[in-house]
Amino acid sequence: MPAKGSATTVLPARHSSSVVAAHPAQRVHGKGGPVVSRHATDVDVSARRHDFAYPDAQHLPDATTRITAERLKERDIVTLRGLERVAPNLTMQSINGTASSNFYLRGAGFNDFTQNNMGPVLTYIDDVAYPYSTMSDGQMFDLAGATVTPGPVGTEHGQSDTGGEVHLHTNNPTDVWHYGASQDIASYARSRSEAYVSGPLAKGLSFRLAGQTRHGGGWQTNPLNGDHLGDADLWALRGKLQWKPDSHTTILLGGHFTQDNSQVVTSVPVHRLIGTQPLPHMQSWKEAEWSSRPAFAKLIGRKAGIKPSEHNQFWGADLHIVHDFGPVTFTAISAFETEREGEYTDQDGTAQSQADTYRTIDANSFTQEVRLSNSHPDDRLQWVVGAYYQRTRMNQRFFFDYTDYSARRYMMATSFGMNQESVSEFGHLSYRLPHGVTIWAGLLHELDDRSITGLQSQIFGGATQNFHAESTASNQFAGQVGVSWQMTQHALVYYKMSKGFKPGGFTANNTQIQAQLDPFKPETVLTYEAGFKADPFPNRLRLNGAAFYNDFHNQQILGTVLIPNYGPLSEITNAPKSESWGFEGTIEAHPFSHLFLTQNIGWQRGNFQNFPTVNRAKTNAYYAQHGVWKAINDNFAGVDNGQPKLTLNGSADWRQPIAHAYSLDFGPDWLYRGSQAITPGGTGFYRLPPYFLLGAHVTFRPASGKWEATLYARNILDRRYAESGGQATTTYFYIPGEPRFIGGRISCGF
């Protein structure tokens, strides 16, 4: 049930998701002044009926997917990775089953195990950019909605990027009292609890406090001893204090804290690269082997018998100041975010200690953004200018246990520091011409400096290597131009060209030679996009779509480097030339009373036009045959980029009134993701198989909306599928997805 008093509500439409827009330099105003978030959901208090959400966005030329809070709850989306179930051309995958995630949007993305580089797709929460996606762990509660924006961004707000952004919008304080809670219980003793309270403290001063806890849900078992794995153990709090000293000023102070001690899903090996030991034999796909040696647990300072798990703490604070001077509006956003992570994974997926890994991350990030924009959204000329500053500091340490790997038989650690600082200036303007035509243009300039320091590789009981520092700097421009035409009241077409930029960085995992620390280059992309939005039968049928072509230069890709007498290691490198193209669309239909249908469609293709690298498959095959590591170099020119070609998600919802006092909503939902390569040019076990998942829900609520009860199911058919995958020294592994979950939820709000 949507949180009462949300500052971002569409009435009376309850839930919908569509490919919609956030127009350049255009802001949304709600009750009591401007909404702080540029992407905040439009407030519609007119008497006109809307059966589809976000009607105003149908007049805005972009391909952003907007998802209501109701849709997020209905589809049981409680983590960032769940957004791939409601947005097209989006793939979000856990790194080795942990809270860290890799994003791929329209084929733009890369696998960064160490999470010390800026991703092609950035995460924002309430206009605050999170440079490392893990920092957002545990914050998907008390939401007002979410948006997914594909393609280059940065000329209107925040930081430049090449792939796009995922933006979460949380509920703001209210000037009247509201409170509520929900309890969710499901299979495998999974429990989720949420609560919030919001209201005034004094004239012009209001607050909101919300929290959540998660427990249980572990569904993996170890066939060796019957132990189980995967239980959640997380709690999080968020507080906001809003002060409106006058009708032109809004000051919003927010803070949050997350403690995550959850166990993680562990890997299942699918192929042995090194050695002759047979892979573990599982009676069920819900089984997996793991282990931890007491000596390794003592080394990392954890209790003996530690399971694959997180020991993470995140906290941060942000300050938003908005003042309307009349002709212009001033916005300032200051934020500080911290990450304290301790993460244990058994990556080889066996009872042997061949790739057991523990890492610690101590990171913080400070960001400052200022913007000036015109205050009147009805003016023909809309504009925004601003500047953005980011400073991050990080220290990581990786521990590896190779005791049962005959070629090494030792424990080792790699540690390093990371310093980064960037500043950018941006501007964007649009002008509305006669006959429904609008033109716009934006420009961004960014300076980025980053360095990796103090990297040390230590073999316990053996040698210690120290590596000298490396640094890299970027100085780039990005921009956008476009035109749109509102052909009729219910039909819009647009075309735009965008250049995106992302700075370079470093690969720091398991470093053995200095050359591994050579920085990879910045990534740039020139994106061409054409789209349309149409309501051919208002309140009955909505059709939105966009086609795109991405021309990448130095695309950052996880490639392979071979270390003599050691083996192949992953390394982020650059593909000098690559491309991707495709389309995405949303169909929303209300063919007759009570029935509502939504279907998101994403299709994309891509290939490398020039990508010289080590061919991991051929190199592994040579070692298997000759017992000697020899790099088999190749150029993947013409090879597919490996991203899923087809992604589908949708739902059917029947809304049935009962005796004028109650309503019953029920229906299925579905998700399909095509095959995905987990290494460039991968075939066979180097690819994740395609999969189809089916879910359903039934919700009963009174007309007052003060409470609701829901029964739901995910993966009803109990399909076996792989959510992500990778390599760990001796094996290639898959991270299995969740089995069937059946649950119930009761929510109330006043």
Digit-coded pLDDT (tens) for 413-468: 999 999 999 999 999 999 999 999 999 999 999 999 999 999 999 999 999 999 99
Joined tokens for residue 207? 């607050």
- Please determine, for residue 507, whether its predicted confidence score (pLDDT) is greater than 90: no
CATH code for the domain in which residue 152 is found: 2.40.170.20
Contact 577/610 with Cβ under 8 angstroms?
yes
Q: Strands 567-589 and 205-216, how do they pair? A: unpaired
Query: Is 1 contained in some domain?
Result: no
Query: Is 5 contained in some domain?
Result: no
CA distance 694 to 654: 17
Contact 647/88 with Cβ under 8 angstroms?
yes
- In sequence order, the 6+-apart residues with CB closer than 8 A to the CB of 583 are 545, 546, 547, 548, 601, 602, 603, 604
Best CA proximity match to 209, nearest among 243, 177, 178, 237: 237
Over range 491-519, report the average pLDDT.
88
pLDDT at 21: 36
Task: Name the strand (E) or helix (H) holding 621.
Answer: helix 616-626
DSSP string across 450-479: EEEEEEEEEETTS-EEE---EEEEEEEEEE
For the purposes of burial, counting CB atoms within 10 Å of the CB of 591, is it exposed (0-12), middle (13-18) or buried (19 or more)?
exposed
Question: Of residues 508 and 203, which shows the higher confidence score?
Answer: 203
Digit-coded pLDDT (tens) for 594-603: 999 999 999 9
Beta-carbon neighbour count of residue 435 at 10 Å?
A: 7
Measured between alpha carbons, how far is residue 613 from residues 39, 573, 642 in Å?
41, 9, 16
Digit-coded pLDDT (tens) for 514-560: 878 889 999 999 999 999 999 999 999 999 999 999 999 999 988 78
CA dihedral 156, 157, 160, 162 (to 10 degrees): -70
- Please determine, for residue 13, whether its predicted confidence score (pLDDT) is greater than 50: no
Task: Name the strand (E) or helix (H) holding 576.
Answer: strand 567-589
Q: Which residue has the tokens 């210690």?
A: 464
pLDDT at 50: 52
pLDDT at 720: 95
Q: Is 128 left (phi over 0), alpha (psi -120 to 50) or beta?
A: beta
Task: Name the strand (E) or helix (H) holding 73.
Answer: helix 69-74
- In sequence order, the 6+-apart residues with CB closer than 8 A to the CB of 118 are 131, 161, 502, 503, 505
Query: Is 238 contained in some domain?
Result: yes
Read off φ and ψ for residue 97, nearest 5 degrees.
Answer: 80, 5
Query: Is 222 contained in some domain?
Result: yes
- Beta-ladder partners of 562: 568
- Please determine, for residue 362, whether its predicted confidence score (pLDDT) is greater than 70: yes
Joined tokens for residue 592? 């007759």
pLDDT at 115: 81
pLDDT at 495: 98
Query: Is 642 contained in some domain?
Result: yes
pLDDT at 596: 96
Q: What is the CA radius of gyration of the chain?
A: 25
CA distance from start to end of the chain: 11
Question: Of residues 536 and 109, which shows the higher confidence score?
Answer: 536
Read off φ and ψ for residue 20, nearest 5 degrees.
Answer: -130, 180
Digit-coded pLDDT (tens) for 152-166: 999 999 888 999 999
Q: Give me the number of domains the chain comprises.
A: 1
CA dihedral 611, 617, 621, 624 (to 10 degrees): 120
- Please determine, for residue 46, whether its predicted confidence score (pLDDT) is greater than 70: no
- Please determine, for residue 80, whether its predicted confidence score (pLDDT) is greater than 80: yes
653-689: string of b/e by CB count within 10 Å (b at 16+)? bebeeeeeeebebbbebbbbbbbbbbbbbbeebbbbe
Q: Which domain holds residue 294?
A: 17-749
CA distance 650 to 667: 11
Residue type, 410: Y
For the purposes of burial, counting CB atoms within 10 Å of the CB of 646, is it exposed (0-12), middle (13-18) or buried (19 or more)?
middle
Query: Is 504 contained in some domain?
Result: yes
500-522: string of b/e by CB count within 10 Å (b at 16+)? bbbbbbbbbbbbbeeebbebbbb
Digit-coded pLDDT (tens) for 22-40: 333 333 333 333 333 333 3
Query: Is 12 contained in some domain?
Result: no
Digit-coded pLDDT (tens) for 392-402: 999 999 999 99
- In sequence order, the 6+-apart residues with CB closer than 8 A to the CB of 203 are none
Query: Is 432 contained in some domain?
Result: yes
CA distance 385 to 221: 55
pLDDT at 590: 95
Digit-coded pLDDT (tens) for 646-705: 999 999 999 999 988 999 999 999 999 999 998 888 888 889 999 999 999 999 999 998
Q: Where are the alpha helices (DSSP H) in 483-582?
A: none
Best CA proximity match to 386, nearest among 158, 229, 198, 547: 158
Per-residue confidence band for 20, with pLDDT thresholds at 50, 70 and 90: very low
Contact 62/152 with Cβ under 8 angstroms?
no
Beta-carbon neighbour count of residue 50 at 10 Å?
A: 17
CA distance 113 to 678: 13
146-181: string of b/e by CB count within 10 Å (b at 16+)? bbbbbbbbbbbbbbbbbbbbbbbbbbbbbbeebbbe
Over range 599-619, report the average pLDDT.
90
Best CA proximity match to 65, nearest among 97, 91, 88, 36: 88
Residue type, 283: Q
Contact 438/483 with Cβ under 8 angstroms?
yes
Cis peptide before 12 (omega within 30 of 0): yes
Best CA proximity match to 65, nearest among 533, 492, 525: 533
- Please determine, for residue 107, whether its predicted confidence score (pLDDT) is greater than 90: no
